[in-house]
Amino acid sequence: MESVRVDKWLWMVRLFKTRSLATEACNAGKIKLNGTNVKPAKTVKSEEVLEVHIGQLVKTVKVLDAPKSRVGAPLVPQYCEDLTPQEEYDRVRMLNMRFEKRDRGEGRPTKRDRRQIDYIKNLYGEED
């Protein structure tokens, strides 16, 4: 495997939409290579482990190879292995479910609706 810049590799395996976003994430300290923060120009080699903070998700990825250019989504597993535990994905999904959602045009919740919402919040341990 040829060595490639970490920001370029992150873009090529579709972890970031643009290379500039990958560079910004490296500069912000959201990318760790084998446990240490990296700069965008750091080269990444085979069998190294990257920890990538994408929003609320902390994704752990093992580098398998470097593509020659940006690859399609079906080919990504050839170049990286996802080591992120399922609990992390569940945690992020639960964070996204916390927000109350009401359909447009339903108006404000009634007193009865509010009691039901409070009951569900208390049932799942969410505090006001």
Q: Residues 41-84: pLDDT tens digits?
A: 999 999 999 999 998 899 999 999 999 999 999 999 999 999 99
Average pLDDT value over all residues in the chain: 88
pLDDT at position 98 is: 62
Q: Does pLDDT of 38 surpass 60?
A: yes
Do the Cβ atoms of 41 and 55 come closer than 8 Å?
no
Residues above pLDDT 90, as percent of the chain = 62
Domain ranges of the chain: 4-88
> What is the number of residues in the chain?
128
Q: Does pLDDT of 124 surpass 80?
A: no
Round to whole Å and give the CA distance between 34 and 110. Answer: 52
Q: Does pLDDT of 128 surpass 50?
A: no
Classify domain 4-88 by CATH number: 3.10.290.10
* Among the listed residues 99, 77, 85, the one whose alpha carbon sits nearest the alpha carbon of residue 51: 85
Joined tokens for residue 23: 């560079």
- pLDDT higher at 99 or 16: 16
Q: Does pLDDT of 120 surpass 50?
A: yes
Residues above pLDDT 70, as percent of the chain = 92
pLDDT at position 16 is: 95
